[in-house]
Structure formats: C-alpha cells, structure tokens
Amino acid sequence: MVCAYVALGANLGDAAAALRRAIQELGNLPLTQVRQSSSLYRTAPLDTDSRTEASAPGSDYLNAVIELETGLTAPALLDHLQQIEQEAGRERPYRNAPRTLDLDLLLYGSACMESERLTLPHPRMMRRAFVLVPLAEIAPSLVSAAQLEAVARQRIERLEQVKLHSR
C-alpha cells in the first residue's frame, strides 16, 4: 500500500457536491481507502488562457486535497482519476478551461517519474496555493513555510471547518 495525495477542484455546476461525490468514488476504488481530506477552499482561477474570449476568467474554484492509501499503481490510479472526471462531465476544450471536476495526482509515495502521461511529483504543485494550503492542512510535514510564503499572494479562502470526508 502506498500513500498518495490527490488535488480536487471544480468551478462549474454544484462544485461542492462534485468534490464530495469524487471523494466517495475514490474511496470505492479497488485497493484504495480515503485516509483524510482537507477543508474546502475557494480560490481564484489561475493561468487561464487569455488568447481566447471563451477563456475569460470564470467563477471561483472550490478545491481540496485528499490522502489515499492505495494498492493501485500510479498509472492505474491516474486512469481511475480520469475516468471519474469523464463521468462528471469533464471537457477539455482548451488549457485550464472551467471544469465540472479536476483530479490531479500530486504525490504517490516517494515516487519520482516523468512520462508523457504522468509526472510525479506533480510539476506545478509548488506554485499553487490551492494545492499547497490544503495539502499543508492534512500533511504539514510535506509543505514548508517557505513554500507557503511563495504562494501567499494567491487568493485562497477556507470555507469549511468540517472535512469533506471523515473516517
């Protein structure tokens, strides 16, 4: 079994319900258990593609991070994440488009890998408050004060004291 961390985000439809449903589905994966989840956070869209009118900044995102214990391989876990996104109506019309659900595999144990499909640790996680702040909430040893300071100017608001998932 391996400890893995997954970032969740959504800004279309009932985003909070989509995140809760995704956590439930992740807990139902074979050889996988949700160990803990962060609070829910509201964040501004980042890195939107300003070259198209359709990519004008959209609604704020709701974000969280969960810890999984899994016996799945990293590529198999990624396959399941993408399947859950598709079932939630995820479309990819352009880079960083608004979405019904986004699931990113951040960390998979101590694995370091780079392939066309999967890079671990997630290559942009250290530049995103919507990843680092919730990750620090559930796994403070994985995020340094300097890393949090580097994203301190990004707007992020904790919405719930209650976790999205409890054991």
Q: Which CATH class is domain 2-158?
A: alpha beta
pTM confidence score: 0.89
Mean pLDDT of 66-90: 94
Provide the pLDDT for residue 58: 63
Residue 158 phi/psi, 5-degree rounding, is -75, 125
Using CA atoms, how far residue 6 sits from 56, 68, 94, 153, in Å, is 27, 8, 22, 23
Q: Given the DSSP bridges, would you call strands 61-70 and 41-43 parallel, antiparallel or unpaired?
A: antiparallel
Distance CA 139, CA 33 (A): 16
- Phi, psi (degrees; rounded to nearest 5) at 134: -65, -35
Give tens-digit pLDDT for 37-51: 999 999 988 765 443
pLDDT > 50? residue 68: yes
pLDDT band at 52 (very low <50, low <70, confident <90, very high): very low
Q: In angstroms, rounded to a whole number, what is the distance separating the alpha carbons of residues 8 and 27? A: 14
- Residues with a catalytic annotation lie at 90, 99, 102, 104
More confident residue, 89 or 138: 138
